[in-house]
A and B are shown apart, each in its own frame.
Chain A
Amino acid sequence: MRDPDEALVRQSQNGDTAAYAELIRTHQRMIHSLAFRMTGSMADAEDLAQETFILAYRQIASYRGDSKFSTWLYRIAINVCLTWRRRETRRTEVTAHWAVETDGRQHQTEEPAGGDMTSRMHEALLKLPAKQRAAIMLTLYDGLNHAEAAEVLNCSETTVSWRIFAARRKLRQLLTMNGISP
């Protein structure tokens, strides 16, 4: 199937920044949304979305069109989010030693749109291991099939299936603990 972004990608590879701006316009909501669901913070999501598009532009010469541009962009976004997650975990660990005076809110999160249940659901999602969360996000929100998600996550389809299974199990436990599920 022909990639609708093909022409713009080719122009961007030739240094046409207007074409790249058009590509950003096409995919910006999807990348913001993914970054928000991975981080739980819109402020962080904005930074990570920007980082994703900057990184993608710098690497665009290496894009050969083997997969759809959106899949390739997803892969970069997921890697940016996972790297952020590792960095954030290290930072939290370090600051936790000497930030005694904080009131427990080490990370300011923005409430997702929706009610209290949605907010608790999001909280539970954020407690999942990053790779399991990424698998859930890509398949449930973004409608990728397991093969596409495997390509984005750079793992096998079996691994994606296993991560989704493990994520569902963990989510059920968390929701039961939070009193959402009977």
Chain B
Amino acid sequence: MNDFDLESKIRSIRAPKRGDEYWEAFPDQVLAELRTHSPAMVEHRNWTGTCFLLGRIAMACLAVIFCLWQTPLPREFNHLLRKDETQLRQSMRQFERNLDRAMQDEHGLHGLVEDQS
């Protein structure tokens, strides 16, 4: 079979025919599909949804802050906080003093390490 015969055989294949109605409807079908799955529309919808959600979260945060600001702390709670603060300050001062001592007593520290080994 030469190239010409082969090509004419290949060219003899024709796609099955579709009626005029099909060809009339096809462009509208594509456009309808485009409208249904339009990425721009989806993106717009997502963006709107995200904005709405962020707005609600921001409003909720503002409401919580306002409530906390307006509500006075109970007296016992204040007392406990102050007590804890005093203890923390004392511990810090103690720590600083001990650290100074340890640094000044360098030889003693060496001795202690040697004794232990």
Taking a contact as CB atoms closer than 8 A, the residue among A20, A45, A110, A121 that contacts B12 in the complex is: A121
With a cutoff of 8 Å between Cβ atoms, the chain A residues found around residue B21 in the complex are none
> Contact: A175 with B1, CB < 8 Å?
yes
> Contact: B26 with A24, CB < 8 Å?
yes
By size class, the interface of chain A is 35 or more
Q: Given that A42-B15, A42-B16, A113-B15 are contacting pairs, would A28 and B10 also be in contact in the complex, using a CB cutoff of 8 Å?
A: no
Q: Which chain B residue has the least Cβ–Cβ distance from A176?
A: B1
How far is it, in angstroms, between the C-alpha of A54 and the C-alpha of B26 when the chains are bound?
12
Which segment of A30-38, A77-85, A88-96, A145-153 sits at the interface? A30-38
Q: Given that A114-B13, A140-B11 are contacting pairs, would A24 and B34 also be in contact in the complex, using a CB cutoff of 8 Å?
A: no
Asked whether any CB of chain A lies closer than 8 Å to the CB of B76, the reply is no
Query: How many pairs, one residue from A and one from B, have CB atoms within 8 Å of each other in the complex?
Result: 85
Asked whether any CB of chain A lies closer than 8 Å to the CB of B17, the reply is yes
Residues of B within 8 A of A (CB): 1, 3, 6-7, 9-18, 23, 26-31, 33-34, 37, 39
Residues of A within 8 A of B (CB): 17, 20-22, 24-25, 28-29, 32-33, 36-37, 42, 45, 49-50, 53-54, 57-58, 110-114, 117-118, 121-122, 125, 136, 140-141, 168, 171-172, 175, 180-182
12 contacts between A and B (CB under 8 A): A25-B27, A28-B27, A29-B23, A37-B13, A37-B15, A49-B26, A50-B26, A54-B33, A121-B10, A125-B10, A168-B3, A168-B6
